[in-house]
Amino acid sequence: MLRTLRMTIFARFQFLLIMCVFVALTACKSSPIVPDDELSIQPNATAVIQVSEPKANSEESTLPLQVYLDGFNLYPREKNGWDQSGWSVITPSKDSRIIYVSSSNGDDDLGEFYEPDDVSDIASPKNIQPFRTIEAAIENVRDGYPDWVLLLRGDVWVVSEEIYLKSGRSIQERSVFSSYGDHTERPLIKTSASVAFRLWTGTNFVVFKGIGIYGYQRDPLSDDFIGWGADNETIGVSIYAPPGVTMRAILFEDNDLNFMTHGISVPGNGEVIDLVVRRNIIRNSYSEGQHSQGMYAAHTSALLEENVFSHNGWYKRQEDDANDKEQGQATIFNHNTYFSSSKNTIFRQNIFIGASSIHNKWTAIQSATEKRDSIESGNILIEDNLYVEGEIGISAGGNTDYNTGPRWEDVKIKNNVMLAIGRKRPTNRYLAWYIDAQDWQGGLICGNYLLNNDNKEVTNILGIDISGHSSNVDVNNNTIAGLYKNSLTANSGAIRLRGNTFSNISVAGNKIQLTDSKIRPIWAESLTGLTFSDNTYYSQADESEWFGVDDESYGLQEWSIISGDTGSISSQLYFIDPVRTIETYSSSLGMSYDEFVSKLTIRSVEIWGKEFTAEAVNAYIKDGYDGASCE
């Protein structure tokens, strides 16, 4: 066959190709500028990779991208960058195998693989012979090569065994598992395996793009549902790095993971760096036998960007005050995302809806033998995300705490919008906490909009809670409005500061507007290490009780004297349109909120409209107030 002849000829010149990488870099089509064996030799060193990034006016320019070699970059590191709609552009190498798979018209006995030059259009090929099963296609993938497996869009596979993905060659020459064809529906993997796709130890340089994974026997509304109480736990994608192993350069994009136990799980005690998870939909995770998350990750450096996490950790509301898992009930242990001991990680422009408990749970696991706190998580940025419902927005403080010092370093929470936290009371608690920060050594909570809890049964309400051994934290320019409570509670406030060992905690420029609510604007356990300035306070509580220090209450004048608060005022602000909600945004698109969420969670590359992004919703909400943001 022509393909076989070409592969034989290419093999004869493989040695020359390798020499080309090292001797004449510019002569090789897609060799990385930084050789892979140099990626971990110089901590904090940087290299420049040229990435072609489209401008807003559709003109292209080549911009230098700084890559921290012991951490991760924020892009797929593909030399072509993104298309005009923001999707990663992935290109094969000359020696890539292109392996097509179709459940509707493939044949494992006749299936062939191709070189890129064998097909005129890789995404929409003509006159090809695909394989029928994914297993047969994977057998033709070479570990350590930039081989591609492409599934026909609109086709369906029923799979009961784990599928193991293989490594690519380098950061810019990745192994690819993706799709082809003109159908608008992703190829769908209906799985009953304990793990649908596994990246085992040492699997690097992978693209997983445009695939649907469906726990079809776990969906109670499906005819294939095998019933409650069955042992049918399923993980969508598992990435396992054992102790002492570092895995890197993995891109997940445009996938839909539905009715898993965990959509994505990174459970090992090794490290996974440069994990990029963007524009995926992860929804309806639940479990009857274990904790369940939309995404769980340990010891991971990652970028989560423009994903939708919806209704993860539960199928139905908790029926009593316990943590019963029967029939997928919500528990306090289940969340949209759960990241443990993470460093160099960014959450940006994601939409988080309806978590069982916490939208973003962060933990800094401490040594059980030393029994002493240490910095285990840091350099974390959470910005421009949208949070709706759930019980807690962001919690960066759990779990084990020996109360000896800080456990976090350099955490920034910026320009997020949180709406209706506590609305559905998934775990049956009366809880609505927006941002929880504990034991931070350096951090910023700035420009966030914490708005409108709308369940009057909810009584345990906090806007921002700073606690523990925290220092050098700025709480600036946040808008806290519409947090409703009809009574004043001791030791609570829109901003609560619990700790007597604080150092250099600044609360400045915040707008705390509690119209029709009797929550205090500020409560502090102690004033040690705290400064206040230029805030605008308002509450329906008696003004003499707006501020609390331990067991004592104060009005603004007394508060200013004892706290040193400068430039702050008591004033009811009249925002442009403070009744803006996720419902009014949905209505502006001509649909109900439920219709909006439904549309949001069935999107793919074909229908990724801007009106269904966190950027668009957040801009609409913020414009109803003052539109302020934090640089």
Q: What is the pLDDT of residue 536?
A: 98
CA distance 307 to 294: 11
At residue 506, the 3 state secondary structure works out as strand
Residue 557 parent element (H or E): helix 556-563
The answer to whether residue 475 scores a pLDDT higher than 70 is yes
CA distance 224 to 234: 15
Residue 333 parent element (H or E): none
Extract the tokens encoding 49.
Answer: 């990779």
The amino acid at residue 206 is V
Q: What is the pLDDT of residue 585?
A: 97
Task: Calculate what percentage of the chain has a pLDDT beyond 90.
Answer: 77
| 301 contacts: CB under 8 Å, gap ≥ 6 | 71, 72, 271, 272, 273, 274, 275, 342, 343, 344, 345
What does the mean pLDDT of the chain come to?
Answer: 87
Average pLDDT rounded to a whole number, residues 462-491: 94
CA distance 477 to 508: 7
The answer to whether residue 582 scores a pLDDT higher than 90 is yes
Angle at which helices 14-23 and 2-12 cross, to 10°:
50
Average pLDDT rounded to a whole number, residues 353-381: 93
CA distance 481 to 212: 39
The amino acid at residue 302 is A
Omega before 336 cis (within 30°)?
no
Banded model confidence at residue 602, pLDDT cuts 50, 70, 90: confident
Average pLDDT rounded to a whole number, residues 151-177: 95
At residue 15, the 3 state secondary structure works out as helix
Q: Are 73 and 63 in contact (CB under 8 A)?
A: no
Please report where in the chains the tokens 């950061």 appear, as a residue: 171
CB neighbourhood size of 424 (10 A):
15
Q: DSSP letters of 148-211? A: EEEEETT-EEEE-S-EE----SSSSS-EEEEEESS-SSPPEEEE-SSEEEEE-TT--SEEEES-
Q: What is the pLDDT of residue 81?
A: 64
**3-class SS letters over 87-100:** CECCCCCCCCCEEE
Look at 23-27, 120-124, 428-432, 512-516 and tell me which has the smallest mean pLDDT.
23-27
| 566 contacts: CB under 8 Å, gap ≥ 6 | 532, 533, 534, 560
Extract the tokens encoding 179.
Answer: 């799709």
Extract the tokens encoding 426.
Answer: 């998934």
Look at 17-21, 157-161, 211-215, 399-403 and tell me which has the smallest mean pLDDT.
17-21
The answer to whether residue 277 scores a pLDDT higher than 70 is yes
The answer to whether residue 354 scores a pLDDT higher than 50 is yes
Q: Hey, which bits of 224-364 come out as E strands?
A: 235-239, 246-253, 256-258, 262-266, 271-278, 281-283, 293-298, 300-305, 308-310, 335-340, 343-348, 351-353, 358-363
* Alpha carbon separation from 81 to 27, 74, 113, 137, 305 (Å, rounded): 20, 11, 26, 28, 15
Q: What is the pLDDT of residue 606?
A: 65
At residue 136, the 3 state secondary structure works out as helix
Q: What is the pLDDT of residue 608?
A: 76
Q: What is the pLDDT of residue 587?
A: 97
The answer to whether residue 16 scores a pLDDT higher than 60 is no
Average pLDDT rounded to a whole number, residues 89-101: 94
Q: End-to-end distance of the chain based on CA atoms, in angstroms?
A: 60
**DSSP code of 474?**
E
Share of the chain residues as helix, strand and coil, in percent rounded to the nearest 5: 15, 35, 50
**pTM strictly above 0.75:** yes
CA distance 178 to 141: 13
Q: Cα torsion at 217, 223, 229, 231 (round to 10°)?
A: -20
Q: What is the pLDDT of residue 133?
A: 98
Give residue-wise pLDDT tens across range 109-139: 999 999 999 999 999 999 999 999 999 999 9
Give residue-wise pLDDT tens across range 534-549: 999 999 999 999 999 9
CA distance 388 to 397: 21
Helices (H) and strands (E) in the chain — how many of each? 7, 45
Please report where in the chains the tokens 């990652």 appear, as a residue: 302
- Side-chain-side CA neighbours of 272 within 13 Å: the count stands at 32
Buried b (16+ CB within 10 A) or exposed e, 601-614: bebbbeeeeeebbb
Higher pLDDT, residue 450 or 67: 450
CA distance 626 to 285: 36
The amino acid at residue 23 is V
CA 517-523-527 angle, to 5 degrees, is: 160
- CA-based Rg of the chain, rounded to a whole angstrom? 26
CA distance 483 to 518: 9
CA distance 157 to 160: 10
